[in-house]
Amino acid sequence: MKARHSEPMIPQPFRVAKVQKETFDTFTLQLKSSKGNGVSHFSPGQFNMLYVFGVGEVPISISGDPSNGTLIHTTRVVGNVTKAMGKLKVGDVIGVRGPFGTPWPVENAKGKDVVIVTGGIGLAPLRPALYYFLKHRDEYGKIVLLYGARSKEDILYRRELEQWRARFDLEVHVTVDRGTGNWRGNVGVVTMLIPKAPFDAHNAVSLVCGPEIMMRFTVLELLKRGIPESKIFLSLERNMKCGIGHCGHCQFGPHFTCKDGPVFPYDQIKDLLEKREI
């Protein structure tokens, strides 16, 4: 019998333990349960519904280390709730419901090369997967991270990216849309990095998260390299009010993005992705 959840719509109070500004419009919150019962276990790729007292609730992917007891969320300020969330200080209380949704296939990727392609804030839901891969580094083939940001000021987790790039067991390539100031790296869209990325397409799994248009073009490049459709995984974004498949908002064709997704294998959704306004 499936596990039953009695009050899935009631947020649990968590306290802000640390606030970190990432870029001009993104920030990371470290949360600790007010009740001292830690965080419930989550899998890389899952999300929580975060509730700001009296303002509202939004789905935010979990971006911390799954093996670590702290709950970490990186958020971009795009609306009322995320704006209010950005004003929270250490010690403030925030409501948490979750974790919800399908995870990245980190177990099934064992023994294979892993190609992560992300754009903008899309790196946040992939960071837990990356932590997982690095913790179990020997169980995977090549690990490639391709990341695109608008400009060098928009690069998320910059210090960590630099550390990862310095490792011999990880291939990290970053590109920006606008090469401003003293940027000396790649300029252009992230899909440009795919043709030359070092991985064995016939034994690789690709994890993709970014704006939908970026994901569509990324898939085209990955397919050109020869990765099968069933080995490409995308994390989708839709309006969500409940996270448990009851409110209807996140429907994407027959799928409830909150519980059947957000991570989907490409072959399951490709027909829908090609259509407008699904």
Partner 1 sequence: MNSNLNANKDLHIVRREDLPQLFNILIKDGHQIVGPTLRDGAIVLDVLEGVAELPLGWTDEQDKARYRLVKRKDEALFGYSCGPQTWKKFLFPPDHILFKADKTRHGWRIDAGENAPPKFAFLGMRACDIHALTELDKVFIAGEYQDSAYLERRENIFIISINCSVVGNNCFCTSMGSGPGAASGYDLALTEIIDGDLHYYLIEVGSEKGEEVLGEIKHRTASQEEIRKGNELLTAAAQAISLKVDTEKLPKILKKSVEHPRWKEIASRCLTCGNCTMVCPTCFCSTVQDYTDLRGSQASRLRKWDSCFNIEYSYIHGGSVRYSSEARYRQWMMHKFASWIDQFGSFGCVGCGRCITWCPAGIDVTEELRFFCQNPLLDTTAKSA
At 147, give phi and psi (nearest 5°): -130, 130
The one-letter amino acid code at 243 reads G
Nearest approach, Cβ of 78 to partner 1 (angstroms)? 4
Residue number, 195 or 254, with CB nearest to partner 1: 254
Of the two residues 57 and 171, which places its CB atom closer to partner 1 in the complex? Answer: 57
- Gap between the Cα atoms of 29 and 161, Å rounded: 19
Is 3 a residue that touches partner 1 (CB under 8 A)?
yes
Of the candidates 38, 26, 28, 80, which has an alpha carbon nearest to the alpha carbon of residue 58?
80
Choosing from 126, 237, 263, 264, the residue that interacts with partner 1 (CB under 8 A) is 237
Gyration radius of the chain over CA positions? 18
- Shortest spacing between CB 173 and partner 1, in angstroms: 26
Examine residue 36 and tell whether it contacts partner 1 (CB under 8 A). Answer: no
Angle between helices 212-225 and 266-273 (to 10 degrees): 120
239 binding partner 1? (CB under 8 A): yes
Residues that contact partner 1, how many (by CB under 8 A):
43
Q: Which is nearer to partner 1, 98 or 148 (CB)?
A: 98
Q: Report if residue 38 touches partner 1, rule: CB under 8 A.
A: no
Alpha-carbon distance 159 to 177, whole Å?
Answer: 20
- Separation CA 139–CA 120 (nearest Å): 28
- Minimal distance, residue 130 CB to partner 1, in Å: 24
> Is 62 in contact with 48 (CB distance < 8 Å)?
yes
Residues that bind partner 1 (CB under 8 A): 2-11, 13, 15, 34, 51, 53-57, 78-79, 93, 95, 237-239, 241-242, 244-249, 251, 253-254, 256, 259, 275-278
